[in-house]
């Protein structure tokens, strides 16, 4: 499929999980892909695995650091041209009861999950507006659509991502750029594996019991797969999806409607 041939896609948190799956889906549709993130060694492993599918590069970047983002986007543009497609996937979740959520924890959740999206959108948008075409897809979470206990910082940040998505979508609606979000439920990723380990350590339940507890909120009684999220992301990036704008699409088996 060459529906995105000639387009340059940058995926943050592209070395594993949903980000890696998104990179693969975009390469399969003909895009050139830059994998961005802090763990350059992990990105290089992903690059090696993806290289048979098309042009893929690695860019070290800390989305919480504005200067790092600016330098990263400039370097990526030198390789593959301006970014046409931005997938804001980098994220971090740390559980804590609200009264044990200190200021440092709170600020870290906002810095990575919300400010990181802000920095990357600001870096990508000028070139998109200049060319008259662009796609921004923010990987939020069902935590951006509803509440969850013991992750107040993460939930607040993801709600912020949905608000930012809607506001920015309206600003660029008539300029050839779309801005959308996908909201996965519990997905087979490192974040969920960490959540399972935390449940096991806290409650003494087995890993299978902890996994079942997380899957119980999904009416399909299973965890979402990264490829399922990536397919939704890739669809929103297609030229034919130009009427999709300002949406927050839950990929969660019916957990949130």
To 5 degrees, how large is the angle CA 212–CA 214–CA 216?
65
How would residue 249 be classed by pLDDT, with cut points 50, 70 and 90?
A: very high
**What does the block give as tokens for 183?**
């909201």
Phi/psi of residue 116, each to 5°?
A: -60, -40
pLDDT at 1: 75
Q: Which residue has the higher pLDDT, 209 or 53?
A: 53
Instruction: Give exposure, 170-180, as e/b (b: 16+ Cβ within 10 Å).
Output: eebeeeebbbb
pLDDT at 163: 98
Ranges assigned E (strand) in 38-133: 56-60, 85-88
Given a contact cutoff of 8 angstroms between Cβ atoms, the answer to whether 137 and 88 are in contact is yes
pLDDT at 214: 82
Residues of the chain with pLDDT > 90, as a percent, come to: 85
Between 101-110, 151-160, 190-199, 208-217, the lowest mean confidence (pLDDT) is in 190-199
- Over residues 10-59, the pLDDT tens digits come to 999 999 999 999 999 999 999 999 999 999 999 999 999 999 999 999 99
The Cα 84–Cα 66 span in angstroms is 20
- Residues constituting the chain: 257
Given a contact cutoff of 8 angstroms between Cβ atoms, the answer to whether 58 and 34 are in contact is yes
pLDDT at 166: 98
Active site residue 148: no
The Cα 31–Cα 21 span in angstroms is 14
* Secondary structure letter of residue 33 according to DSSP: E
**What does the block give as tokens for 25?**
């889906």
The Cα 191–Cα 179 span in angstroms is 25
Phi/psi of residue 13, each to 5°?
A: 60, 40
* Residue 68, pLDDT above cutoff 90: yes
* Secondary structure letter of residue 241 according to DSSP: G
- Over residues 75-104, the pLDDT tens digits come to 999 999 999 999 999 999 999 999 999 999
The mean of the pLDDT values for the chain is 95
* Residue 191, pLDDT above cutoff 90: no
Task: Label the pairing between strands 85-88 and 248-251.
Answer: unpaired
* Residue 159, pLDDT above cutoff 80: yes
The residue from 148, 150, 154, 186 that is catalytic is 154
pLDDT at 210: 83
Given a contact cutoff of 8 angstroms between Cβ atoms, the answer to whether 38 and 62 are in contact is yes
* Partners of 139 in the β-ladder: 182
Burial bucket for residue 81 (CB in 10 Å: 0-12, 13-18, 19+): middle
* Residue 226, pLDDT above cutoff 80: yes
Between 173-177, 217-221, 224-228, 246-250, the lowest mean confidence (pLDDT) is in 217-221
User: Which pTM value belongs to this model?
Assistant: 0.93
């Amino acid at each position: 499929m060459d529906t995105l041939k000639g387009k340059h896609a940058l995926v943050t948190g592209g070395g594993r999980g949903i980000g890696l799956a998104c990179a693969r889906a975009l390469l399969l549709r003909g895009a050139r892909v830059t994998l961005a993130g802090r763990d350059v060694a992990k990105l290089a492993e992903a690059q090696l695995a993806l290289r048979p599918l098309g042009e893929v590069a690695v860019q070290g970047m800390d989305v919480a650091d504005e200067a790092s983002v600016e330098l990263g986007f400039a370097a990526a543009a030198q390789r593959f041209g301006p970014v046409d497609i931005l997938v804001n996937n980098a994220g971090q979740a740390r559980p804590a009861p609200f009264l044990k959520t200190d200021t440092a924890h709170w600020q870290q959740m906002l810095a990575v999950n919300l400010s990181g999206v802000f920095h990357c959108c600001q870096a990508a948008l000028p070139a998109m507006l200049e060319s008259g075409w662009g796609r921004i897809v923010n990987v939020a979470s069902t935590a951006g659509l509803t509440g969850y206990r013991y992750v107040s910082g993460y939930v607040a940040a993801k709600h912020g991502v949905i608000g930012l998505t809607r506001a920015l979508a309206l600003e660029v609606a008539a300029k050839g750029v779309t801005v959308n979000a996908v909201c996965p439920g519990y997905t087979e990723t490192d974040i969920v594996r960490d959540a399972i380990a935390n449940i096991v350590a806290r409650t003494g339940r087995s890993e299978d019991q902890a996994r079942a507890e997380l899957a119980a909120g999904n009416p399909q009684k299973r965890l979402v797969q990264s490829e399922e999220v990536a397919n939704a992301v890739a669809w929103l990036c297609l030229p034919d999806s130009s009427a999709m704008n300002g949406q927050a699409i839950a990929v969660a088996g019916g957990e949130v409607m």
